[in-house]
Chain A
């Protein structure tokens, strides 16, 4: 039963029919409004983060300035050198309480929080950059953001609030269904979306769907409960009421988006729809792939290609403009990718390949790690190339995106200094790409997040510890980037 994703029942079942609204699994943005029309394709923020840091001497270009020959880990990106910025010296300075090394790095990764901790089982970090952007611009799309790929309870990257980590969806089939359940993937026609006709269909109106009638009923249910529970704990019931009301608004928003897409379907944008090349694993097939992936790099690569394809599809269809994709696992085995020594277990290699000083580390393990990271970059480069092929009407999807390629640790020894950071894409023409920008060591990674926020149209001058870190610099910005 492996259906190609497109062959699933995908048309709306029509007004009056049993309407299962498609997107009711999305994370709700803080507010919802009708999407505004834009003549130009929007800018998308992608985060492609791998595990295990990197091997610095094989990652960092020797010279600052124009990119020429790339170091071996970055070599697979040679074809998009002109669309890329390599940033070095960026570091996290946040302290940790009650966390192990992986948690410390995982919580800091996209938050740049000054302090991350676990207290009585509850976790704290800060709002992550993807969620901060999603909160600001997420009301434009069906999904304010998507978070997916391989994470575990230690590697929590995305945080909606300082104590609410966002779960990552690991199952590509579920992610696809979340995006396209009852909705047909359509290539937006960006020129058409700012016409008066589009503006007309975009207006929100009360839904007459069955979904709405269910919502009406349970709202009534909750209200009567609220009365009946008297003085008893009302908090849960209140939460329930709020949740249902949010869904009510969402139903209207979804319907407005679907009307806009129905217009586009008749007259879509210029590029072909980028559907995943491999069929999405269904049911138990997923678990088979998932379990195999961490022992067999071929399966691992298959998984990464599938989720990377879904990121491209999500951006192309404007399902969201913010996506965080986590890739790799410290716990994975890499036979065939690693061809030196005999250890193939990534976590063991990470510890052995790192020490207080590079000279003290095991050189064979370090070479093995270099092989692993170069393998990750190859897969990342494949995704980037696909984005470069997608024409959005005079510019490519890559032109209209900024993809942060990085890792939650700076190196395999739970390091937080000198993270591997590359920005790929033009962010709608705002980035001065083709360069290696070498910052002073320990320049806050949070400065990058300030820049990313601004690139995405969210004006801000601070993020995380950009203004409080001991090593704060450049007034929280990264000179030379734009």
Chain B
């Protein structure tokens, strides 16, 4: 299997077309349809399909390949024996299960290597801010300064191309932001410095760098302006610029000169035009005339893909230079660059943008533990909780550690307040630092982090359901469908009613047929974590029932045994992380054609001790990141 994965990767780098390996269409009606009919369609048929999953519409392999997300979920649930539910009779035999699994895997494989649909990506707010910072050279939160809307997508990443619309209102923000940036760097149009509060020495330095030549006796103003805009436009457009492009910009300069305006205002007007140009705000990769097959992206396109993936910003001079020289795609150069970029502080963007969104850490801001029950919960503690998870992830990146540390580790990062919260002695001061964990601390890995435990709790109590859902969703990438519209919430205690334990109330709710299938998957995972209270503190007490059993049969009790279970399923975790990071890197949802890519990267990851750097490098080397194709008529938006 390993050799197979390895050779496939080689093949995908060298060869654009891999021949088709499937031809099971004829078998569908005979082999597969009866199995689906016997074990699936009763609940997942056309009539009120459970969880909105209707498998009756699939009639051949092709139709399956068109719904890869759904079938990947089916695949996972078959493999983990979550489906069909154990109390559904008859159960498929082991052979039948195997046959289904093998068929789905095969159906999901598309014959020809395909980089997926071409997309035009607008810079999202974060990328825009960082790009402005690097392009102009000042620390300036341009998005905040003009109140740019967030590209928040509460589910999924905020850099997915199809979520990044361009509205008139947003374009107006770009125009204003451009003015504000240029006010700071070049001063106001009347020649006075901006009155706003900012780092002036830095702005001066940035200005000197941008206006790197000065008009003199030997260098006429117009020529100086032309050199300046040439260098600026090349960096802003992230590629070589044509003479025609420069001429058009210089027309603006000429206008200011005609009106007798200041030299700096001529530069300013050109800069402004660049900063609101579609060539700056959109990442456009141009189609190759008449190319019917996929083709390798050019070096500048590769540099841009690379830098927005790893840094959320424009390529630096080194990358641009390598692209200019046509060397970036050399395998050794590329690997060297990826390693360099991962070590660079700018790669913190992977944590801030990918890590934080994947782990859903923004939800921690919404946690509102009641003051009465949790008087020690302060904003400072909330920040430390967030920092713990982000630093933990960031160190994986920086120190190229195994991603399995996210599941279990013998260290974490705390400051005094968080250490007290965890009962870890001898940590003084507000600074977050690494501490070694001992078994009695009962922490280590995401599932022991107070931030994650807090954001999956309610105001005054834990929520086993939310915690279980988080594990399914974030760790394994198998989120349960949202609750049906008629699902009730837990009824508050009525007067005169015999008190029920929380677990009894939950059990009552979870026996309703519509709710049971999902709750049986979520709740046991959450109950195992009930040793941690709603702000993630360890709690003792014999009245806590933290035992659970999954629909797949595994029994466990408490956080430690849950962690064992999760570690047993590390392959599913690694594959999920691969998928998530690939989505983020490509800026689009995965397609059937990405199935092989994911499998190969996950295999390579496993072979290399699950190192984060391997994951990133394999994604960079992967077929969809290195190739593109012209837009096909049947590509979905």
Q: Which residues of A come within 8 Å of B, CB atoms?
A: 1, 3, 8-9, 13, 16-18, 20, 24-28, 95, 97-98, 118-121, 152-154, 167, 169, 171, 174, 178, 181, 210-211, 213-214, 217-218, 220-222, 225, 228-237, 239-240, 242-244, 246-247, 250, 282-284, 331, 343-345, 347-348, 351, 355-356, 360
Contact = CB atoms under 8 A, between A and B. Distances in A.
Contacts of B284: 225, 229, 232, 237
Given A18-B269, A213-B255, A230-B289, A25 B172 contact: yes
Contact of A235 (B173, B196, B285, B637): B637
14 contacts: A8-B195, A25-B146, A25-B169, A26-B172, A28-B168, A28-B172, A152-B366, A174-B146, A232-B120, A235-B637, A240-B166, A247-B171, A250-B172, A345-B371
Nearest to B175: A24
B631 interface: yes
B631 A232 contact: yes
B418 interface: no
A17 B269 CA distance: 11
Interface string B281-302: 1101111010000000000000
Main SS at interface, chain B: loop
Given A17-B190, A243-B166, A98 B368 contact: no
Nearest to A355: B492
Given A18-B269, A343-B371, A345-B370, 9 more contacts: A20-B189, A153-B152, A153-B154, A229-B286, A233-B631, A234-B120, A235-B120, A236-B164, A282-B197
Contacts of B252: 210, 213-214, 217
Contact of A1 (B118, B197, B272, B289): B197
A121 B459 contact: no
B175 A232 contact: no
Interface in B230-254: 248-249, 251-252
Nearest to A283: B197
Interface in B584-637: 630-631, 637
B261 A17 contact: yes
B270 to A, nearest CB: 9
Contacts of A218: 273, 276-278
B268 interface: yes
Contacts of B368: 331, 347
B189 A246 contact: no
Nearest to B268: A18
Given A239-B166, A345-B370, A348-B371, A214 B120 contact: no
B261 A16 contact: yes
B631 A239 contact: no
Given A214-B272, A214-B276, A240-B171, A1 B261 contact: no
B149 interface: yes
A104 to B, nearest CB: 12
* Ranked 3 nearest A-B pairs via Cβ: A18-B189, A121-B155, A230-B287
Given A9-B188, A26-B172, A344 B371 contact: yes
B316 interface: no
Contacts of A220: 248
A243 B277 contact: no
A345 B122 CA distance: 41
B196 A283 contact: yes
Given A214-B252, A348-B459, A167 B149 contact: yes
B265 interface: yes
B256 interface: yes
Interface string B314-351: 00000000000000000000000000000000000000
Contacts of A119: 482
Contacts of A232: 118, 120, 284-287, 630-631
A348 B370 contact: yes
Contacts of A120: 155
A130 to B, nearest CB: 16
A247 B251 contact: no
Contact of A247 (B122, B175, B196): B175
A360 B168 contact: no
A8 B192 CA distance: 13
Contacts, number: 183
B195 A3 contact: yes
Contact of A222 (B161, B278, B287): B278
Nearest to B172: A24
B259 interface: yes
Residue of B150, B156, B278, B630 contacting most chain A CB atoms (<10 Å): B278
A376 B572 CA distance: 52
A230 B166 contact: no
A362 to B, nearest CB: 11
A97 B52 CA distance: 15
A51 to B, nearest CB: 13
Contacts of B224: none
A210 B255 contact: yes
Given A20-B179, A25-B147, A229-B120, A282 B255 contact: no
B120 to A, nearest CB: 4
Residue of B173, B251, B276, B492 contacting most chain A CB atoms (<10 Å): B276
A98 to B, nearest CB: 5
A468 B179 CA distance: 48
A406 B588 CA distance: 42
A349 to B, nearest CB: 10
Contact of A236 (B122, B149, B176, B631): B122
B168 A243 contact: yes
A240 B120 CA distance: 12
A174 B141 CA distance: 13
B279 A221 contact: yes
B167 interface: yes
A210 B279 contact: no
Contact of B153 (A97, A121, A152, A355): A121
A240 B166 CA distance: 6
Nearest to B491: A356
Nearest to B289: A230
Nearest to A24: B172
Given A28-B168, A217-B273, A348-B459, A171 B147 contact: yes
A110 B459 CA distance: 27
A244 B171 contact: yes
A235 B165 CA distance: 9
Contacts of B370: 345, 348
A213 B257 CA distance: 14
B251 A217 contact: yes
A244 B276 CA distance: 10
A178 B286 CA distance: 36
A71 B402 CA distance: 64
A282 B152 contact: no
Interface in B66-122: 117-120, 122
A234 B259 CA distance: 37
B217 interface: no
Nearest to B279: A221
A181 B171 CA distance: 17
Contacts of B176: 20, 24-25, 181
B495 interface: yes
B371 A121 contact: no
A220 to B, nearest CB: 7
Contact of A225 (B261, B278, B483, B630): B278
B497 interface: no
B485 interface: yes
A233 B197 contact: no
A64 B210 CA distance: 70
A209 to B, nearest CB: 11
Nearest to A97: B485
B372 interface: yes
A351 B459 contact: yes
A328 to B, nearest CB: 15
Contact of A233 (B118, B173, B249): B118
Nearest to B281: A240
Residue of A97, A239, A345 contacting most chain B CB atoms (<10 Å): A239
B29 interface: no
A143 to B, nearest CB: 11
A18 B172 contact: no
